[in-house]
Amino acid sequence: MKNKNLFYQILISFVLVSVLTNMACLFIRNSVIQQEKLKAEYTVNSTINRVEIKLESYIEKVGFLKKTIEAGIDVDDAYFESMASRLYGDDPAVKTIELAPNGIIQNVYPFKENQKAIGMNMLAEYERKEAATLAKDTRKYTLEGPYDLKQGGKGALLYDPIYVNEKFWGFSILVIDWDAFLDEIHLSDLKKASYDFVIWKTDRVTKKKIIISQSSKNIDSNTLLIKCKLPNNKWNFEIAPKQGWINTYVMISLAVASILIDFLVTAAIAQFEIRHRKDLEYASQIEWQAKKAQEASEI
């Protein structure tokens, strides 16, 4: 009976120790994952900051054209070319500067490479009209894309609606070279930091998920989602470390450490309990012998 009770005590001790060590391992695991997610969030936010900085520089370019027209200055072809050449600058991501009275592209710079875009009605073109109409109705900058451009290649469009005397005049438009833009916001830094990522948005009409850019088609489903607000648009960044949020070796080490601690602590408890029982038995024997000796001396 005594041995059976001892066995149950040791078993209960083992279960309690296992629960405590598992809770400790879970806490450590969650702490490691949380730290990794904070690092990933910081990395993505750095990329988002670069996106915002680039967009601010683009907005300044289209905004200058807008202010010129709103000021009542007549922008003929020669004046447009003069202004656009100065705004164009040396930014490799700036592909085209356009002016679209009533939504119809009338001026483009550079002309030779982009003349195919002249005559496009941004409020009627199937792929463009949703974003253009949104920009017109909200009177806010609107970024949309990437599109397959008429002049070739892929590009995003930044629409700046122009109102003169509260009446819609048209758009100043900046066409952004998509590949150059992705290079300028250093998406490659995410790959160098050993992250897989996918950037996506929701189509304005179909509400389907549209992939903007991704590092791999086999990205882990356990990703961290970070939203990026853009002019009248929203991108979603999903990111995950290529090796997972916690290293496999760390998990194995935690599991092995947990098992060793379970057995070592339980063994220590068992040894203490056995020693304690022996001490009690020894004390009981001493007491019994003393009692017997006292009884013998009284006879």
138-175: per-residue pLDDT in tens?
999 888 888 778 777 788 889 999 999 889 999 999 99
Cβ-proximal residues to 15 (8 Å cutoff; 6+ apart), any chain:
none
Strand order in the sheet with 224-230: 209-214, 195-202, 233-241, 224-230
Q: What is the pLDDT of residue 163?
A: 93
Q: What is the pLDDT of residue 24?
A: 78
CA 252-217-221 angle, to 5 degrees, is 45
What are the pLDDT digits (tens) for 243-253? 887 767 767 77
Compute CA distances 72 → 54, 65, 242, whole Å. 29, 11, 55
Amino acid at 177: D
Q: What percent of the chain has pLDDT over 90?
A: 13
- The residue among 121 and 296 whose pLDDT is bigger is 121
- Name the pTM for this structure: 0.71
What are the pLDDT digits (tens) for 194-208? 888 888 888 877 788
Catalogue the E-assigned strands of the chain.
94-101, 107-109, 142-148, 154-164, 167-177, 195-202, 209-214, 224-230, 233-241
> Residues 264-288: what's their mean pLDDT?
67
Q: Which domains does the chain have, with CATH numbers?
A: 50-182 (3.30.450.20)
> Residues 239-245: what's their mean pLDDT?
84
What are the pLDDT digits (tens) for 13-50? 777 777 777 777 788 788 888 888 898 888 888 888 88
- The residue among 169 and 63 whose pLDDT is bigger is 169
Q: What is the pLDDT of residue 91?
A: 80
| C-alpha torsion sign, points 188, 190, 195, 200 | negative
Amino acid at 102: N
Task: Give 273's pLDDT tier (boundaries 50, 70, 90).
Answer: low
Q: What is the pLDDT of residue 289?
A: 64
Greatest CA span in the chain, whole angstroms?
136
Q: Which of 202, 200, 195, 186 is nearest to 222 (CA)?
A: 195
**Pairing verdict, β 142-148 and 107-109:** unpaired
